[in-house]
Structure 1
Amino acid sequence: MTRPIRVLSLYEGFFAGGARILHSDVVAGLSRDGVQQHHVLSLTSAARRDASVQHAADDTRFRRLREAGVTIDTFDRVAGDSPVTPADFTPAELHRAAGLISDADVVLSLKEQPLSLIVALQRHGLLADRPLAACLHRSDPAHSGPALGWLAESAASGAVSATIACAESTSDAYARAGVSAGTAWVIDNGIDTRRFRPGTRAERRRIRAGLGIPESAPVVLLAARFDAMKDPGLFLRSVVRHARRSPATHYVVCGSGMTRANPAFAALLRESGVGHDIALHALGLREDMPELYRVADVVALTSAFGEASPLCLVEGAASGAVPVTTDVGDAARVVEGFGLVTARDADAVAEAWGDALALRPALRAAALAARGRLDRRRMIDEYRDAIMGLLVVERLAA
């Protein structure tokens, strides 16, 4: 094939989330090397999150893809609490999607939600025969709602010819849920270690001053959206217990809905017992995550379910913070050698944070030594190989 390989990625929408960050990094990286030509179709042009509407064109991932030369098409829809179902698509949307898939050599679906489009195209006889891989990022398929059924149906029919999971736990969980595609790859997450790096003393002093955090105060950071999956209640209860032992510690929470302006978050603060004597900074959705990681001593994850290979753990570690996580998905494997794993209990979490702060010099050194294997260039290379593998399998089948 003398021309670039044409790859179409299907997104449910553009809004904050680790899977979108990761997939957009892959698409932008592969697009820049000139061997592949990437195109994105988003099933929505905006998303309703935390009582506000976020437009795709304002999203950081959207802008970075455009800057990398990736063409983006969107349907005029708003992503809400429920995914777009196969019955929701208009004839015009189906014909537009059918044309884009026909023009592609390979199709990637970011998670299983966009596969409602594939099911709809199949049911209308409009789906071109193209190798299609579902890129999976959960360790609990049951929480995918109807999207798991769309994935299972598409895999059973052969429309989905492969899966690419970001963790062994993800691949195993979908196999147990009855998803059987022809090929199953596991590609560990990677990050941009040029962006996620330790801060200089001057940088840390400046960032902390901007947040109102003393230069010498310990900092525990939770980077997560306000969602039951992330269990912010466990984090806040752990804050109360840890603050009794280490009252000088500052606690930073950031992510969609993680703000006192969110009534549900404010109520959870009260229920958890977080008083005004505890230095908790609720920053909401932020676009300066590399800076926040640089001032953190501990990057926490208190998730209850759903995680596969959490990006926050490696982003924090590459920036010099010690990851402390509950045992979800591949998190324990991800932080092995430079982080700690804790039970899902507030006293246990608080104790683990204390241990991480005490052991920070050694764990920080181990985390920084692991930066090479955390880098996204390895991940992008493996995705390039997987896309080539999809084409090879398609040709052999023909």
Structure 2
Amino acid sequence: MSTTGAVRVLSLYEGFFAGGARILHSDVVAGLAAGGAQEHHVLSLTSSARRDGSVQRAADDGRYRSLQAAGVRITAFDRVAGDRPVAPEDFTADELAVAAVAIADADVVLSLKEQPLSLVVALERAAMLPDRPLAVCLHRSDPTHSGPALEWLRHASASGAVTTTIACASSTAAAYAAAGVQVAEALVVDNGIDTGRFRPAVRGEKRAIRARLGIPERAPLVLLAARFDAMKDPGLFLRSVALHAARRPDAHYLVCGSGMTMANPGFASLVAASGIPAGTPLHALGLREDMPELYRAADIVALTSAFGEASPLCLAEGAASGATPVTTDVGDAARIVEGVGVVTDRDPVRVAAAWEHVLAHRGALRAAALLTRPRWDRSRMVEDYRAIVESMQLRDVLAA
């Protein structure tokens, strides 16, 4: 225990860069730290990231700043996150020493996804890993796409270094169990969002937001909030835009997220190949920090992911803001949008038809989405995590 009696919790991050899992975990940490019964520290394996066609400094990231504002201490190794996670053999002796002290000073350790477990494996190999209960927070429905990190998780769970997994979706828990990850305790905590931030527009607000974006007040607006990554399949979204725009020339389409900008040659190439009619209003905004406003402006929040999703935050955030979710059948997406949105095949014809169906039934679907707001509130998620951390710490004390 700390001198204040608070439970000391260390979270391991691969780095600070755009992504739903980082948003969610940082929200959990900030919420837990605010209660005063827990002290939180984050150890990031990197201080910047080269991702999605851009370089992102940790100190510029919204999650980094929100954690600092919540009084969470952050330590970051002077490394750049790239196309592959930091491997166990990459760590220096000094980095291992810093990590060993940070873990020894904690009562409970949480790993944001499996990538940071390279550090745990490295500490085990060097006989420097302190004996602390460690939970891995899992956010994929297809662990085979996590590269070498899956083997690090298998190793750490087999050795007993990882005692618990906390999955954000039932599909995630099942996928990792099938992939050979066996732990003493496998838990599921559904994602939650800040329904104070993600709320429907008040009178005149939607018009003002759209005016700033150059979008007419009554134009249909389809939003894709995703990073530029094969997992998100932006090509499917753009091909769907091409078909839908031919039918609805009044519609506007907005994409945002890291790398989702014409300045990224990869994205620009996909736009050129998609067949989108000339003059179609496609707003490619790149990385944004004003997501609540963008959701309030939208009629549809689209998700065209091909794999890897578990419990996509954008669907809940969009629905809570009044936008209707239209998603491919990935992870727990179908369960999330049941009764409030549409699940479609991974076919641009079907996707475009689903968008048109939603626009034709917009009023009823929006009303249904807004009725679900209470079930998405993050307070339930934070309390679930609080109970898990305290249970892990108590079991460790009793076992000592």
Query: Which bracket does the TM-score occupy, shorter chain normalised?
Result: over 0.9
Once the two structures are superposed, residues 252-308 of structure 1 have per-residue CA deviations (whole angstroms, 9 ceiling, x without a partner) of: 000111111111111111111113221111111111100100010000000000000
The percentage of aligned residue pairs carrying the same residue is 70
Is residue 2:198 matched to residue 1:196?
yes
What aligned pairs does 1:9-48 form with structure 2 within 5 A after superposition? 9-48=11-50
Once the two structures are superposed, residues 344-371 of structure 1 have per-residue CA deviations (whole angstroms, 9 ceiling, x without a partner) of: 1001001111111112211111111111
User: Among residues 223, 226, 229, which one is paired with 2:225 in the alignment?
Assistant: 223
TM-score (norm. length: structure 1): 0.98
Distance across 1 between alignment mates of 2:117 and 2:323? 37
Once the two structures are superposed, residues 324-348 of structure 1 have per-residue CA deviations (whole angstroms, 9 ceiling, x without a partner) of: 0000000000111111100110010
TM-score (norm. length: structure 2): 0.98
Aligned to 2:326: 324
Superposed structure 1 runs of 4+ greater than 3 Å apart: 395-398
1:24 counterpart SS class: helix
Task: Give 1:50 shift.
Answer: 4.0
Is residue 2:103 matched to residue 1:101?
yes
Aligned to 2:315: 313
What aligned pairs does 1:362-381 form with structure 2 within 5 A after superposition? 362-381=364-383
2:204 counterpart SS class: helix
Aligned to 1:173: 175
Distance across 2 between alignment mates of 1:340 and 1:99? 49
Per mean C-alpha deviation after superposition, the further-off stretch among 365-374 and 161-170 is 365-374
Aligned to 1:138: 140
Q: Which consecutive unaligned segments of at least 5 residues does structure 2 have?
A: none
What aligned pairs does 1:57-136 form with structure 2 within 5 A after superposition? 57-136=59-138
1:201 counterpart SS class: coil
Distance across 1 between alignment mates of 2:139 and 2:36? 27
Aligned to 2:355: 353
2:145 counterpart SS class: helix
Task: Give 1:242 shift.
Answer: 1.0
After superposition, the CA RMSD in angstroms is 1.0
Q: Which consecutive unaligned segments of at least 5 residues does structure 1 have?
A: none
Once the two structures are superposed, residues 95-133 of structure 1 have per-residue CA deviations (whole angstroms, 9 ceiling, x without a partner) of: 110001001000000000000000000111111110000
Task: Give 1:397 shift.
Answer: 3.8
What aligned pairs does 1:201-216 form with structure 2 within 5 A after superposition? 201-216=203-218
| Aligned 8 A contact 2:48 2:80 in 1 | yes
Distance across 1 between alignment mates of 2:321 and 2:382? 21
User: Among residues 266, 286, 289, which one is paired with 2:288 in the alignment?
Assistant: 286
2:140 counterpart SS class: coil
Aligned to 2:391: 389
Distance across 1 between alignment mates of 2:365 and 2:159? 48
| Aligned 8 A contact 2:53 2:258 in 1 | no
Per mean C-alpha deviation after superposition, the further-off stretch among 242-251 and 39-48 is 242-251
Once the two structures are superposed, residues 32-60 of structure 1 have per-residue CA deviations (whole angstroms, 9 ceiling, x without a partner) of: 10000000000001111244321111110
Check 1:19–1:126 CA distance in 2 against 1; reply closer, same or farther (3 A cut). same
Distance across 2 between alignment mates of 1:52 and 1:321? 29
1:37 counterpart SS class: strand
Is residue 2:197 matched to residue 1:160?
no
Distance across 1 between alignment mates of 2:83 and 2:351? 31
Distance across 1 between alignment mates of 2:266 and 2:57? 23
Once the two structures are superposed, residues 172-195 of structure 1 have per-residue CA deviations (whole angstroms, 9 ceiling, x without a partner) of: 000000000110110000000110
| Aligned 8 A contact 2:47 2:57 in 1 | yes
Aligned to 1:251: 253
Aligned residue type for 1:5: V
Distance across 1 between alignment mates of 2:111 and 2:82? 19
